[in-house]
Amino acid sequence: MAAGLLLAAAGAVAFSGKAIIVKLSYRYGVDAVTVIMYRMLFALPFFALLAWWSGRGQPPFTRRDWLGLLGLGFCGYYLASFLDFLGLQYISASLERLILYLNPTLVLALGVVLFKKKVGARQLAAIAVSYAGVLLVFGQEVNFEGPNVLLGGLLVFASAVSYAVYLVYSGEMVQRLGSMRLVGWASMVACALCIAQFVLLRPLSAAAVPVEVLWLALLNATACTVAPVLMVMMAIERIGAAATAQTGMIGPLSTLALGVVVLGEPFTPWIAAGTVLVLAGVWLLTKWR
């Protein structure tokens, strides 16, 4: 039990460090297309190894499997990541993490729209609490970051929607292929798309970046991309998905702390209150579902 909780907490903290590293990379004058290309380039060998290891002795993919992997890799790991990186150019790491933490509310909304699921009054109240927290932090952010906060917030929210689509449609494939195999192959699809995107949109000379950007990308790929995926999967095996998700509440708090200490982002009582509201709303939604 203790090992599972430690793995879940470490995975949440590692995931939250991604935004910090991306914001640090932007200080060297690189853009989102370049930053995400290097992140996925360095992560590709690890995901390829994961895909190979998890597929040993398993039956080959069918045409339906390949189509599913392409679709999930596009929306869950490529589009969601790219929109997130774009949004981080305009908003703080703390606000980014809070918006992404709204993911359970988006999964619930997609269930209502796509599968006609019912939503109770308590669930609506929990959602309202979460979004009130985001709006509170958003209002503070406008004072610090300027008018582009709206654009950045919308981009990160679109990222959360894209990942929610991935979660909604990945359940059946997880049961059939296994979580590790699905993550490995879908992530490889995303890696290929990010690298191809750079080749199509940027001259090759744009790959010449400061060495600090390369080190940050390597750290992002290993400590904040591959490692937390494995830690969260191992935590789910030990303590279950529900307990792992609850432990993940430490993620926004660690992002807030790292943003203040590493990036010098502002911290006010209003930001603290908004963070508490978001965490409380998502916790209540998870409990009442």
* Residue range 191-222, pLDDT digits in tens: 999 999 999 999 989 999 999 999 999 999 99
pLDDT of the residue at 245: 66
Q: What is the pLDDT of residue 242?
A: 61
pLDDT at 267 over 70: yes
pLDDT of residue 155: 95
What pLDDT was estimated at residue 285?
Answer: 78
Q: For the chain, how many structural domains are there in total?
A: 1
Task: Tell me, letter by letter, the H, E, C secondary structure of the chain.
Answer: CHHHHHHHHHHHHHHHHHHHHHHHHHCCCCCHHHHHHHHHHHHHHHHHHHHHHHCCCCCCCCHHHHHHHHHHHHHHHHHHHHHHHHHCCCCCHHHHHHHHCCHHHHHHHHHHHHHCCCCCHHHHHHHHHHHHHHHHHHHHHHHHHCCCHHHHHHHHHHHHHHHHHHHHHHHHHHHHHCHHHHHHHHHHHHHHHHHHHHHHHCCHHHHCCCHHHHHHHHHHHHHHHHHHHHHHHHHHHHHCHHHHHHHCCHHHHHHHHHHHHHCCCCCCHHHHHHHHHHHHHHHHHHHHC
Question: Containing domain of residue 31, as a range?
Answer: 2-288
Q: What is the pLDDT of residues 72-130, one digit of tens each?
A: 999 988 999 999 999 999 998 888 888 988 888 888 888 888 777 787 788 888 888 88
User: What pLDDT shows up at residue 289?
Assistant: 62
